[in-house]
Chain A
Amino acid sequence: MEMPAPNQGVLSKRSRIIARLEEVLPKDAVISDVMETRAYECDALTAYKCPPLCAVLPSSTEEVSAILKICHAEGVPVVPRGSGTSLAGGALPTADSVILGVARLNEVLETDYDNRFIRVQTGRTNLSVTGAVEADGFFYAPDPSSQLACAIAGNIAMNSGGAHCLKYGVTTNNLLGVTMVQMDGTVVEIGGAHMDAGGYDWLGLICGSEGQLGVVTEATLRILPKPEGARPVLIGYDSNEVAGECVSDIIKAGVLPVAIEFMDRPCIRATEAFAKAGYPDCEALLIVEVEGSPAEIDEQLGLIRQIAQKHNPVEFREAEDADQAARIWLGRKSAFGAMGQINDYMCLDGTIPVSSLPHVLKRIGEMSKEFGLDVANVFHAGDGNMHPLILFDANKPGDLETCEAFGAEILKLCVEVGGCLTGEHGVGIEKRDLMHVQFAAVDLEAQMRVKDVFDPAWLLNPAKVFPLDASEARRARAEAA
């Protein structure tokens, strides 16, 4: 992975930049000790590391604005950071950048059940947003598996999803307003407790912009009343095709489950060995969850059973109680951990049209042989968001590179069948250079023009999202200015 050479001009004035930041922040909010900056050298894509120039931990929107004014004036790149759980290297520093971490901005500012929203500072973790409203019967819908750790800031920047987004949508569908600080320090308020923000869809544009358009410090989020209940079923098939058909038939029948998760044999075996959830040893396993009152759940599951039976499952298991429900989810929830036990792995997240599922799984199997690396598939089948996990050995020279090459081929396949490179993890540095596969030059140009408007000097989260060759002219122009 190539990163642009750090700006020597910036490196040479390191101490002045730190001194200026210390003027506007409390002492413990500027981290400049070289050892301590190491804590910020990477996110969850740990294959790439680079300590920043320094890190700052503001406690208010005003402090964020003061920091950005200084960085703007000094021409210093800024990398916003939430909890650092990005799997795409979205929060990877460059040597000449200031990491702006929002972890200290973690307050709940307002909850309003009648109008169904919560306003929080964005350093707050995803799970603790639901935690703040749960006792009153509400929840915040987007639920990335990393929800215990990841921050709303990162969720907004990556437009994160989760297992339940088939019904409730992803972050962008649950975001009502933000307070954002622009690179020059200007604070803007967008949206709020009302349903559609006015003018252009600023919220839509900011959500998923990977920290490149502004630093988001506060967010108004839609909260929902908790359903009366939920229950999963487990369905096993001896062929991926048939499992794919079953998913499609369930959707066509008018049932809208909250989740349809899919695991293939390698994944089932690995999780079984690790979590012992009692999964059948079959080719493809579906977990389908529906919500409602007990009677409503029975009705939907009845329909799902009918559809599933038509395709001759090797297993159809309904959860009779909470304990059995938990066991059905157990394997799925420990899938990533299980993989981590056996090997290092790389987690991809391309999306494909649901109809291409059997074809894509077959091709991945073939490629696995060609590259000589095992792959396990676990994904959100209802929306086609795949998570192939490629297993490799980080200590074996060349294995990471082979794994990356294999990953790139899988993502190209996703695009080829009409899908995309990333369904929820974001582009970051990881998929940056693959953007040419999905987008023509004019498509990237249109996106970069948005960046030009929000951050003309291209200082925010540099060298992410856009292929370096595509952004080269702009970065050179900005650096010269």
Chain B
Amino acid sequence: MLTPESEEELAEAIAGARGPLRVVGGGTRPIGKPVQGEVLSVAGLSGITLYEPGALTIVAKAGTPLAEVEAALAAEGQMLPFEPMDHRKLLGTTGEPTIGGVVAANVSGPRRVQAGACRDSLIGVRFVDGGGHVVKNGGRVMKNVTGYDLVKLMSGAMGTLGVLSEVSFKVLPRPAAAAALLIEGLSPDRAVAAMAAALRSPFEVSGAAHVPEGMAGDPVTMIRIEGFESSVAYRAARLQEVLEPFGQSTVERRASEGGEGVTDGWRWVRDVEGFAGKPGDVWRLSVKPGDAPEIASRAGAEGVLFDWGGGLVWLLVAEGTDLRARLGDFRGHATLVRASEETRARLDVFQPEPAPLKALAEGLRAQFDPRGILNPGLMG
């Protein structure tokens, strides 16, 4: 196992590598095709290098624990806008999620509908390519169009084009208050319609999820709003009017940092806790929200969770199921997030791309990692 402690050591390790490397941060998100290779851990590159609350920017080395970044932000009343999911419960992994891992997998949570994905908040990266060169792109300012945007390219590339050494983010003030509107008993169709009604209102919804089987077993639709206290109260009331056609809604409030009720429910959604510990494979679909109920109904799933107003669908299916074969053609993409190594080796983990994009992807890998040593085969 290679354990560099600095960017230079990371570059040396990669330049000197004799064979394939399996890149890990905290090792909590083993997503992708199984990779054979020597483990390269980035956890040794740790620490916040710059934090300017007044400029809404933070820079951290890639191996910095996510918890450390979030704590530093919380101390100044700020947060990562995209509410990164914690995969540990769902995937049954242990260890400490790192900020680099969040970026590499472009991990976002319920607030994605309002604040964008991880890649939208990411404003700078430093990484080491497959040849051992240290490359920087973007920086620490939030508006930057200088040259090509490799920042976004690195987010979601799962360490196949370069190993991240440092990442910078634009952050947001932490909302003072939050509320969730809950409607019970909706079918997926009606739930997606209700969420669309909420999301197309001017009341700044920051979460819209539907749980066909909530903690008490019945369907629950959840709409979240966040902000200053009186504003949250106002918008909650207005949204209740908007949602009236869909039935009675109740409002759960979190006035200040105290009551965590609202937060707990959203963490459950964010981390797909409903599927944790249950047997079966877990798939993640990104689709047009309005298509979600129909597509989900084709899956024959044992568990379904709709987030992002329906745009994100989590499915729990029997082990080894070829979900894409079952779904047939659909607009969007499906990722196999949890399955045995055997299944992940047999099925495409990421949605197969049309030939021209596949050629571009292979072209990029050949350019950034000519020896094919960075997580080879992980993305296809």
Contact = CB atoms under 8 A, between A and B. Distances in A.
Contact of A195 (B142, B227, B308): B308
Contacts of B134: 442
A355 B120 CA distance: 22
Contacts of B368: 446, 449
A114 interface: yes
A453 B367 contact: yes
B367 A209 contact: no
Contacts of A295: 230-231, 234
Interface stretch (A16-24, A122-130, A185-193, A276-284): A185-193
Nearest to B230: A299
A198 B76 contact: no
Contacts of A154: none
Interface stretch (A100-108, A315-323, A331-339, A417-425): A417-425
A200 B364 contact: yes
Contact of A435 (B55, B56, B146, B152): B146
B320 interface: no
B149 interface: yes
B147 to A, nearest CB: 5
A454 interface: yes
A207 B234 CA distance: 37
A204 B53 contact: no
Contacts of B286: 194-196, 198
Interface in A414-434: 418-427, 431
Contact of A115 (B141, B196, B201, B367): B196
A352 interface: yes
B290 A115 contact: yes
Interface stretch (B29-37, B216-224, B347-355): B347-355
A198 B148 contact: no
Nearest to A249: B54
B155 to A, nearest CB: 6
A251 interface: yes
B173 A256 contact: yes
Given A195-B112, A296-B231, A384 B55 contact: yes
A199 interface: yes
A147 interface: no
A438 interface: yes
A254 B143 contact: no
B54 A248 contact: yes
A165 B144 CA distance: 12
Contact of B288 (A113, A137, A194, A355): A194
Contacts of A190: 357
A331 to B, nearest CB: 22
B156 A201 contact: yes
Contact of B173 (A138, A189, A255, A440): A255
Contacts of B147: 427, 435, 438-439, 443-444, 447, 465
B200 A169 contact: no
B350 A195 contact: no
A54 interface: no
A131 interface: no
A452 interface: yes
Interface stretch (A27-35, A45-53, A221-229, A402-410): A221-229
B103 to A, nearest CB: 11
Interface string B106-150: 101000110011011000000001000111110111111111111
A313 to B, nearest CB: 18
A204 B143 contact: no
Nearest to B139: A420
B149 A207 contact: yes
A424 B143 contact: yes
A8 B193 CA distance: 61
Interface in A147-175: 158-159, 161, 165, 169-170, 172-173
Contacts of A431: 146
B145 A159 contact: yes
A89 B103 CA distance: 34
Given A116-B200, A420-B146, A443-B137, A199 B351 contact: yes
B226 to A, nearest CB: 11
Interface in B346-380: 350-351, 353-354, 356-357, 360-361, 363-364, 366-368, 379
Nearest to B114: A224
Contacts of A114: 193, 196, 200, 289-290
19 contacts: A112-B290, A158-B145, A192-B288, A196-B117, A198-B332, A199-B333, A204-B155, A205-B149, A205-B152, A207-B152, A251-B56, A254-B174, A355-B54, A383-B141, A384-B141, A419-B141, A423-B145, A424-B145, A446-B150
Q: Which 9 A-B pairs have the closest CB atoms?
A: A204-B152, A248-B54, A198-B333, A254-B173, A453-B363, A423-B143, A193-B288, A449-B367, A114-B196
Given A353-B55, A353-B141, 15 more contacts: A182-B356, A195-B112, A195-B117, A199-B357, A200-B153, A201-B156, A252-B76, A296-B227, A353-B52, A418-B139, A426-B145, A446-B129, A446-B133, A449-B368, A453-B363
Interface of B: 52-57, 76-77, 106, 108, 112-113, 116-117, 119-120, 129, 133-137, 139-153, 155-157, 161, 172-176, 193, 196, 199-202, 227-228, 230-231, 234, 286-290, 308, 311-312, 331-333, 335, 350-351, 353-354, 356-357, 360-361, 363-364, 366-368, 379
